[in-house]
Structure 1
Amino acid sequence: MIDVYSSARAMAAAVAAREISARELLALHLARIEQVNGTVNALVSIDADRAYVQAAKADDIAASGARLGPLHGLPYAVKDTHHVAGWRTTFGSPVMVDHVSTYDDLVVERVRAAGAVIVAKSNTPEFAAGSHTFNPVFGTTLNPYDTSRSAGGSSGGAAAALASGMVALADGSDMGGSLRNPASFCNVVGLRPSWGRVPTWPTWNLWETVSVQGPLARDVDDLALLLSVLAGPDPRVPSADSTPGGVFADPAPVSLDGLRVAFSIDLGGAFEVDTAVAAVVRTARAELSDAGAVVADAWPDLPDAEAAFRTLRAWLMEYALGDVLDAHPGEVKQSLADNIRAGRPLSGHDVAVAYAQRSALAEKAREFFETYDVLVMPVSQVPPFPADQEFPAAINGRPQESYLDWMRSAFFVTVTGCPAISVPAGFTPDGLPVGVQLVGPAGSERRLLAVARAYEAVSGAGIGAGGPRPAL
């Protein structure tokens, strides 16, 4: 029996076998949205009429006997920073509140072609800046496990919608942790792919390497399915990896026995980690060891990670949003305005230094993964924090001065260029989800997904692995 917490693969198989129609599957999810979205505020710009038109077309295609795409009939949410033709796309900003897109982003083209039924946009912080999802257009997305807490961000709406059973799959993007952090906070799975794995089009900078788009799902198998659709080359994106997306659909099984695992809580003291988060991540170390992995306390030395990330982020923010700030100085949140302004005094030399640092960090990571198969570390330095805070004020009593300080465990990985996946690991004593971050060498998504699937089975914490669902 298919329900809203069935796997995306099971839903797609049931639609293909005509055990349930795409319209019936959509109706189940729209009823769930009606039931819980008012509580968590994960989905915005919901358009049931348009979704039913897509679902009806999906049923007609299925009835014709035509070959079906891998996402055929699946209710889907697109992040509200990704353009969908004819659909309101606000970027969570009052400046864009009435904007209606005239084209599909490449990731949207691909999910449409694969048969997905787009139901809504997922909520995001203003211009996707920050790992807490709130904005003046739609308000705050709340954590399904504790609605007084943050769902993370910037893909917080997507993660919360998945955890709440409102959609089968969702996409997001990640600069400093925006696919990984909300997955950790909401007990789902999120992957930051290697640069070029999921090509972005259109874009102002085809060679930009800090921000990537990618998949979220309730389990690793479903995430692999969505990656198989999002990934692959495109003639409009010369930086795209040439590997066909389909190879990621079914990663070959990997045994944890003998796997060479490097484990670190804080990359040698590079950042503070909440004690409750550290305790859960240490359980992952024990589980991997018990499953036969060879676990060592080890980490790559990444001395310039913070400087490189902050410089490149500020430079990119200033170019992309500087004109918006100048035209609407009172309508951009202060933390974002500060980040934009930090980019203004940067020289070409400053940016070149950051790219040189990033190149050196990538080389350090490459050398590190000659010895280890995977690095295991926290996704986020904190558990889900109160939703009325923009960011956590302190970790273990240590002040956090900006909305970036508490995200080092994610953005230190960003600037290595390595793929990283957040997989549910357990819960704090207060019942708040905690994910573990598995990092692999650049370009290793297929093997990383297989390792993540094996760990997911050992952990059993995630919703898709049979772990606790939110009590909504």
Structure 2
Amino acid sequence: MNAVIQSLLEFFAFDRTRRIGDVGLTDRKSLEAPAQPFFEAANRPAENYKIAYAGSLNGFAHISPRMDAALKTALELVSKNGGEVEEDCPDLPGLEKTFRTLRAMLWAALPGRAPDAIQKHYKPTLAKNIQQGRDLTVDDIYDAQLQRSKLFDTMHGFLGKYDVLACPTIGVESGPVEIEYPIMDNSDAHEDYISWLRYSFLSTATGLPSISIPVGFFDNGMPVGLQLIGRPRGEAALLSIARAIELVMGGPMKPIDPISKS
């Protein structure tokens, strides 16, 4: 059965309460309490877990050769210490448009409702985001919500084969702080300041739990980040797998000192 339909059936099932008195004990906005406290999961490394690695999310996002090599090196070490790693990724049609539509709607609804006295100080990129939200049609929003459900359904099925989907946190190495956003090697004239963050689109649009962990450093001292995307409501398992990988990589790693000593 389609996972979205199954979720709706479970939500509206008549047996959610056994008697009238139960209604007073039920917060309709809250999910059931997790079987395992997250703190325990975060301190209990997973064993025999299966990872799908998608370096570019099927070509959706750009990854530099150095980043790809660094992540594959880290995952090779993981595969020798309890994890099973395969390269795999589902098709993700409409992800870009879906994410950008929902994001634009949010920007128009929140910072776009601030008083003009505040909005006049917005930088051009934020003002542009707000206008994109105001330009949306009802059909744009409807289509995005529908496609969001389809993407969730796709990931629900895909994660039936794997415990997590692994991909870069970002596809390129960190750059100078003076540069607002990096220009990708394969960029075109339409590249903007959120294009380099495409790896965050999937978990954000689908509402899936995700976590990013350091798995090494480049020779210039900048960190290599690995993002793990888990199953729906699979936060405990995700934390447990992240903890296992953290230990394999010799972590937890110390924070980078933000103050240059040179």
TM-score interval w.r.t. the shorter chain? 0.7 to 0.9
- The structure 2 residue matched to 1:337, chosen from 100, 124, 127, is 127
Q: How far did 1:254 drift?
A: 4.4
Distance of 1:290 and 1:349 partners within structure 2: 49
- The structure 1 residue matched to 2:78, chosen from 288, 303, 311, is 288
Distance of 1:427 and 1:311 partners within structure 2: 35
Distance of 2:29 and 2:138 partners within structure 1: 22
2:185 matched residue in structure 1:
396
1:460 matched residue in structure 2:
250
Distance of 1:349 and 1:278 partners within structure 2: 38
Higher helix content, 1 or 2? 2
Deviation digits for residues 371-415 of structure 1 (CA, Å, limit 9, x no counterpart): 1111111011222221112111x1235357211110101112211
Unaligned runs of 5+ in 1: 1-234
Distance of 1:301 and 1:389 partners within structure 2: 32
1:356 matched residue in structure 2:
146
CA contact (8 A) 2:36 2:236 kept: no
Deviation digits for residues 323-358 of structure 1 (CA, Å, limit 9, x no counterpart): 327444430111111000001121222111100000
- The structure 1 residue matched to 2:33, chosen from 243, 256, 271, is 243
Note the aligned Cα RMSD (angstroms): 2.4
1:408 matched residue in structure 2:
198
Distance of 2:192 and 2:115 partners within structure 1: 19
Distance of 1:267 and 1:325 partners within structure 2: 40
CA contact (8 A) 2:53 2:85 kept: yes
Q: Secondary structure at the match of 2:102?
A: helix
CA contact (8 A) 1:423 1:462 kept: no
Instruction: Tell me which amino acid in the other structure corresponds to 2:54.
Output: S
CA contact (8 A) 1:272 1:381 kept: yes
Distance of 2:110 and 2:176 partners within structure 1: 30
Distance of 2:35 and 2:116 partners within structure 1: 40
1:245/1:317 CA distance change after superposition, 3 Å: farther
Q: How far did 1:299 drift?
A: 0.9
CA contact (8 A) 1:462 1:468 kept: no
2:257 matched residue in structure 1:
470
1:31-70 equivalences in 2 (<5 Å): none
Distance of 1:403 and 1:283 partners within structure 2: 29
Name which of structure 1's ranges 354-363 and 295-304 shifts more when overlaid on structure 2.
295-304
2:165 matched residue in structure 1:
375
Unaligned runs of 5+ in 2: 1-24
1:468/1:332 CA distance change after superposition, 3 Å: closer
CA contact (8 A) 1:374 1:439 kept: yes
Instruction: Tell me which amino acid in the other structure corresponds to 2:86.
Output: A
Tell me if 1:270 matches 2:57. no
Q: How many pairs are equivalent?
A: 233
Instruction: Tell me which amino acid in the other structure corresponds to 1:454.
Output: A
Instruction: Tell me which amino acid in the other structure corresponds to 2:184.
Output: I
1:416-435 equivalences in 2 (<5 Å): 416-435=206-225
Distance of 1:245 and 1:337 partners within structure 2: 44
TM-score by length of 1: 0.46
1:352/1:457 CA distance change after superposition, 3 Å: same
Q: Secondary structure at the match of 1:262?
A: strand
Q: Secondary structure at the match of 2:176?
A: coil
Instruction: Tell me which amino acid in the other structure corresponds to 1:395.
Output: M
Q: How far did 1:238 drift?
A: 4.6
Q: Secondary structure at the match of 2:212?
A: strand
- The structure 2 residue matched to 1:321, chosen from 103, 111, 114, is 111
Name which of structure 1's ranges 450-459 and 346-355 shifts more when overlaid on structure 2.
346-355
1:16-415 equivalences in 2 (<5 Å): 238-243=28-33, 247-251=37-41, 253-257=44-48, 259-324=49-114, 326-392=116-182, 394-396=183-185, 398-399=187-188, 401-415=191-205
CA contact (8 A) 1:422 1:436 kept: yes
1:363/1:389 CA distance change after superposition, 3 Å: same
The structure showing larger relative contact order (alpha-carbon pairs under 8 Å, at least 6 residues apart) is: 2
Name which of structure 1's ranges 323-332 and 446-455 shifts more when overlaid on structure 2.
323-332
Distance of 1:247 and 1:460 partners within structure 2: 25
Distance of 2:115 and 2:94 partners within structure 1: 29
1:283/1:462 CA distance change after superposition, 3 Å: farther
Distance of 1:239 and 1:314 partners within structure 2: 25
Q: How far did 1:453 drift?
A: 0.5
Q: Secondary structure at the match of 1:395?
A: coil
